[in-house]
Structure 1
């Protein structure tokens, strides 16, 4: 007979909850101007070996907008990232999507170290604008 079955149940529930939290995918959020331009990661450091979902408010980068035939965006926002100064990779964020099967914005966290992220909005008429923390890319630690 167990003397304190409630304690064992609580301990097991805490362990299961901790495992569930450690298995969730991380995210990096870039909030809109109405949310004070906040930028934050779901964890610090970001967990190596996972994939970080990118939650980007397109309201952060409103320059270079315009539509084609009033229905199709003539602009696109792409995110760019670089780990430890290595090669630059990109992903679609908002606007015109040249590849309809492109996945939701995310970054694989396959390398430990410094993750730099920035965003660019371009349009078909040659306009280009950046969201990069006043000229400095956004940086996150991957461990």
Structure 2
């Protein structure tokens, strides 16, 4: 019975996603739906071809780089999430942002590697902005 209640509660929450397309797709960025629904969790779909600087592997198979996403509601505290590459957490969760605050959501990405390289994906120097209602 408890399993049924959990499944029902999860199904009743609105779904949302934020997509960051590759250069071959025109660098498009969009949220579905728009505006994003307060109380949902937005799945983040980031095409890693957007940020290819600072790559490199260790022993030919282990990533020596990490792609991290950051988000901020209304200029408040910055939160982060793993997107791709090396993770110190085995089986990290899929990239997502809990939409627990109404207003402006800023999102940006950073790629770093173990050799000190750092690169950013933002909206031409500004963060990608979305509305949560």
Report the TM-score, using the length of structure 2 for normalisation. Answer: 0.89
Of residues 119, 122, 128 in structure 1, which corresponds to 2:118?
128
Structure 2 partner of 1:64: 54
Q: Which contiguous aligned blocks of 4+ residues in structure 1 show a shift greater than 4 angstroms?
A: none
**Structure number with higher helix proportion:** 1
Number of matched pairs:
123
Structure 2 partner of 1:50: 40
Report the TM-score, using the length of structure 1 for normalisation. Answer: 0.83
The superposition leaves residues 18-71 of structure 1 with CA deviations (integer Å, 9 ceiling, x where unpaired) of: xxxx85410000000010000000111100000000000000000000000101
Q: Do structure 1's residue 32 and structure 2's residue 27 form an aligned pair? A: no
Of residues 97, 103, 108 in structure 1, which corresponds to 2:98?
108
Paired with 1:110 and 1:99, the residues of 2 have a C-alpha distance of 24
Unaligned runs of 5+ in 2: 1-11
SS in structure 2 at match of 1:34? helix
Unaligned runs of 5+ in 1: 1-21
Note the aligned Cα RMSD (angstroms). 1.4
Q: Do structure 1's residue 82 and structure 2's residue 72 form an aligned pair? A: yes
How far has the Cα of 1:97 moved from its partner?
Answer: 1.4
SS in structure 2 at match of 1:26? strand
Q: Which protein shows a greater Rg?
A: 1
Structure 1 partner of 2:4: none
**Structure number with higher strand proportion:** 2
